[in-house]
Structure 1
Amino acid sequence: MKHSVDEAFGRQVQQIISGEVFFNEPMDHHASLGVGGKADVFACPENERELVGLVGFLVERRIPFCPVGNCTNLVVRDGGYRGVLISLKGLQGVEIRMDSAEETLLYAEAGVSLARLTELALQESLAGLEFCAGIPGTLGGALRMNAGAWGSEMKDIVSSVRLLAPGREIEEIPRSRLSFSYRNLDFSRSGVITAALLALNRGRRESIRARVE
């Protein structure tokens, strides 16, 4: 890292976020695969506001960072990560933003697991997320890689994405401006997905359950 990770740096980070901050952290303690080297810093902001503050702080000091979700299938090389890994697991907001006969918009933050979203959609009789059943990880990661199964992909249900671009405010990007391809959403490598609006439809709960199971 261009700037050393010392006590002063740690105190500054802990003033920005209320979540946990780990230093020289073995990532095998967090990764689903149980392997991986150490990260200089592993920081866990509790909400979008803290995330924005942390990213701005790191950009200003030119400290490398990388967002991660629940560390599903994450492998940090043996030599470690020289920078700050930012966990998005604290971004757990979910709510229905619009509900009509034609479409229901479900707002979800990047740290919400696909398992939780799929179950919520089932309980609310919302169709469209069934293909996510059984896919591990969080919404942020699923969007970044345009996750899919059974002929459907995230691009099919996204209405818009909230994206934090370092040095700028969070931008709400509509589907028409998002560039999806096979297992990829193309945007700046330094950008961070914070949330998305998913376009779903009302359906019969038992029919949705059958497709989930």
Structure 2
Amino acid sequence: MTALLVAERAPEYANVLVIGAGGGVELKALAQAYPQWRFVGVDPSKPMLALAEAALGPLADRVQLHHGYVETAAAGPFDAATCLLTMHFVSIEERSRTLKEIRRRLKPGAPFVLAHMSFPQAPGDRDLWLSRYAAFAIASGVDPEDARNAASAIGSRLPLLGPDEEERMLKEAGFTGTQLFYAGLAFRGWVTYA
């Protein structure tokens, strides 16, 4: 889905910024799908960047990996950016700054695809969504106690926002045309434009 949404507006020889590139799964999938694209990947974890380098194998010659955060990346301008399964770990204050830094590095009209945990945060709603998260994990074979502990940890430790708040932050960072393209229980994905 990410590759398709980026490709809608990215040029043939796109330069793509990947925030939270550790592990390399996203980078590898994008590089395989579009052999002419080049990438700059940023991640604050050196061990995760080592995994990304190993996962990329021969594709690594099209990827520059940087240890750090968005400001570690070149100023761009980039043709597109992605941030998958990362933003829900970032504090609200830092998230706002990060979104602005991503926006600043993109060419006008460039797509930005992001996906992470986001569900309604009103007191009753929040508990319901966390219980759904645990129920889905249990139905998928996770030990019930482990699933409930994970949901509790997510609820107490992650700086989660509701979908409306996420979209407001994107707008405040200067993005336009934001569209929800994915919703799967506790996870949401958006495509938006610089």
Category of TM-score, reference length = shorter chain: under 0.3
Between Structure 1 and Structure 2, the one with more strand by share is: 1
- Structure with the larger RCO, 1 or 2 (CA within 8 Å, 6+ apart): 2
The structure number with the bigger radius of gyration is: 1
TM-score, reference length from structure 2: 0.23
